Amino acid sequence: MSYSRDYIFEKIIEKLPTLKIHERREKESSVFILEYENRRAKIDIDSFVRKLGDKKTSESDKKIEEFVYYIVGNFNAQKELSIDDITEDELLENIFPVVRASSFNKDNEKNLVSFDHTNETRIYLAYDFKDGYKLLDGSFLSKFSKTEEELLGFAKDNLEKLPLKYNVDEVAGNKFYFLNAKDGYDGARIIDKNVLNYFYDKIGDSFYVGLPHQDTLIIADVQNKQGLEILQKMMVHFFTEGLVPITTITFKYDGKELESYFIFVE
C-alpha cells in the first residue's frame, strides 16, 4: 500500500486542526496552499509523495513525521516572531545565515534580505528561536540601526561559534566527511571559511564540497574517478531526500574561493 496525498494532509491536520487547504494548478501540476490562522505556506505535496515510494516503511514514516514537523514549525515561526517582540541585542545574538538555491524566492515577493554567494546559491538571514527560525525581511532593517552587511557579519560570527561535528566514511580510497551537528545550520557551514579551511588543511587540492539540502554538507577528499561518481550519486540522493533541496552541483574549493564543478557520470 502506498501513501496518498490525503494521508499526508490528515497527518498535518492532526497538528493544525483548523488548517484550510487550497489547490492551485500551475502548468501541468497541482500546488497546494496551506492556510492556518491567516498565515500561508505553499507546498508541492505530490513531489513529496513520489519521494516516499510505493510501499509504506518505517523510513518513509519518519520522512512524513519530519515533513509535518517542518510545516508546523513554519507556521509557528510566522506566528511567534514579531518585529515588535525582539530587541536589537536579541536579534544580534540569534541571527544566523542560511543558504538557499538561487531559484528560491526569485521574484523576492517577501522582500527577504539576501546576498550573493555562488551561481547556484544565495545567502539569507534567519532569526533563530530554538525550535526553528524565520527568514528576515526588509522590515527588520527599518527598526534596527544596522545595515544588511552589518547584520550578515553578526550572523556569520554566530555561525562560527557553533560546534563542528562530522562523521567520515572511506570508499575506494576516497574520504567523505558528513557534517552532522544537526542544529539546522549544517548546510550553512559552507559559508564559514574556518570550516572550509579546516578541511582544506586536511585535504588540499582534492577538496570537493556538496550542499544538496539545508541540513547536509558533504566534504570530499576525491582521489579517483570512482570517488567523483560516488559523490555525484550522494548529491542526487540527498537532494531528493531533503525537505529544502538546494543543488546537485558540486563545488571545488582552492583554499580561497568556491567554484561550481559539474560531475558527469558515464
CA 31 to CA 45: how far, in whole Å?
Answer: 7
**What's the distance, CA 259 to chain centroid?**
20
- Cβ of 112: how many Cβ atoms within 10 Å? 17
pLDDT at 248: 94
pLDDT at 83: 62
CA 53 to CA 62: how far, in whole Å?
Answer: 13
pLDDT at 78: 64
pLDDT at 45: 85
- What is the full per-residue pLDDT of the chain (266 aa) written as tens digits? 578 889 899 999 999 999 888 876 655 667 787 888 766 777 878 888 888 877 888 888 888 888 898 888 778 766 666 666 788 999 999 999 999 999 988 777 778 999 999 999 999 999 887 666 788 888 877 888 889 999 999 999 999 999 999 999 999 999 999 998 888 899 999 999 999 999 999 999 999 999 999 889 999 999 999 999 999 999 998 888 777 889 999 999 999 999 998 876 65
pLDDT at 125: 95
- What separation in angstroms does the CA of 208 have from each of 56, 216, 221? 35, 14, 7
Nearest to 92 by CA among 48, 134, 128: 128
Quote the pTM value: 0.76
Amino acid at 8: I
pLDDT at 28: 64
Residue owning grid cell 531528493 = 240
